[in-house]
Amino acid sequence: MTSPQRILVTGGSGYIAGVLIRQLLAAGWQVNTTVRDLKREPALRQLLGAGQGEASEQLRCFAADLMLDAGWAEAAAGCSHAAHIASPLPAGVPRDANELIAPARDGALRALKAARDAGVQRFVMTSSVAAIAYGHGPGEHRFTEADWTNLAAPGIPPYIQSKTVAERAARDWVAREGGGIEFCTVNPSVVLGPVASADYSASVLIVRSLLEGRIPALPNIGFGIVDVRDVADLHWRALTAPGMADERFIACGGFLWLREIAAILRAELGDEARRVPTLQMPDWAVRLLAKVSPTVRAAASELGTARHQDATHARERLGWVARPPREAIVATARDLIGLGVVKL
């Protein structure tokens, strides 16, 4: 790519989007971004370092909601590229799965239609390993981009459903109506790393809950982890590399059990991690609590299951290399403490 171009980045106030937008602005790109309410624009500009001078002209903000048609055509106008990052990520478990499925699916299709009509050439969508690694039973599994979550399996949580349905709907739409648009997805695992403000992603709650001692004992569950800076970098590479049509890239730095995450916090933070639990919660206790708590119920379905997400394709195809999960975990913790989100 020889010259900066204009790009639409949806969900500009989000965790991944913020890091990517800073990278794009630093490289001289013109950025259009969406927010649900333009009252958030001044705070967003300050957070992104685009509040005045030339930087203010580089960034344009548009009001657009995943569930409404208004604003999407204006946001995409004049753009050659798009990164669709906006998607609902709840802190809890909704009663109705459609509260997440509808905005994730319909928002992706709105962004795609607006991008196609505006003449966008490259469209990178943020999906998730949630669309890859679930519904395959307990035990130890290794997943690649060829795998898909099995929605026919019992007990698939609403968030997992939403990411799977949204990515499949987007790919089907592109095949049917996308014209010449090049579409690919980035599928991150749990995203941690530096936190720029107290308005943080729900994924960061894992570290916050451990630091604040909200989890009295550690259930036998684990996650793939990736640093937010590496996720933004993978988006950048997918936006700028040649031949990305129909590609799919797992973004994961490695799998860790919750007990390993807790041990890293205690080892790196010392007294600041004094509330981090050390005891293991027996599986029977998790299952008992699951009868009264939807959040624990979701954890109970994960007991003893190791989902290793293989990022070989991103390394070989795009030269992408992830930081160790330890670095992402510690960066999250230090920023949460520094911002005063976690009170010690």
pLDDT value of residue 2: 42
DSSP for 247-288, written as a single string: EEEEE-SEEEEHHHHHHHHHHHHGGGGTTS--SBPPHHHHHH
Tokens 């960066």 belong to 331
Does residue 163 carry a catalytic annotation? Answer: yes
- The tokens for 279 are 């005891």
Distance of alpha carbon 326 from alpha carbon 193, whole angstroms: 10
Residue 33: φ, ψ to 5°: -135, 155
pLDDT value of residue 200: 72
Q: Which of 177, 169, 84, 183 is nearest to 131 (CA)?
A: 169
Distance of alpha carbon 111 from alpha carbon 179, whole angstroms: 15
Q: Which of 202, 197, 231, 221 is nearest to 328 (CA)?
A: 231
Task: Domain ranges for the chain, please list them.
Answer: 6-338
Report DSSP state, residue 218: B
Beta bridge partners of 31: 7, 59
Would you tell me the crossing angle of helices 228-240 and 15-26 to the nearest 10 degrees?
50
Among candidate residues 113, 163, 291, 343, the one labeled active-site is 163
CB 253 within 8 A of CB 324: yes
Residues 6+ apart with CB under 8 A from 33: 8, 9, 10, 11, 12, 17, 21, 44, 59, 60, 61, 62, 75
244-268 b/e with 16+ CB inside 10 Å = b?
Answer: beebbbbbbbbbbbbbbbbbbbbee
pLDDT per residue as tens, the chain (344 positions): 445 689 999 999 899 999 999 999 999 999 999 999 999 899 999 888 876 555 578 999 999 999 999 999 999 999 999 999 998 766 566 677 888 999 999 999 999 999 999 999 999 999 999 999 999 988 999 999 999 999 999 888 889 999 999 999 999 999 999 999 999 999 999 999 999 876 677 889 999 999 999 888 999 999 999 999 999 999 999 999 999 999 999 999 999 999 999 999 999 999 999 999 999 999 898 888 888 777 677 777 788 899 999 999 999 999 999 999 999 999 999 999 999 999 88
Domain 6-338, what fold?
Answer: Rossmann fold (3.40.50)
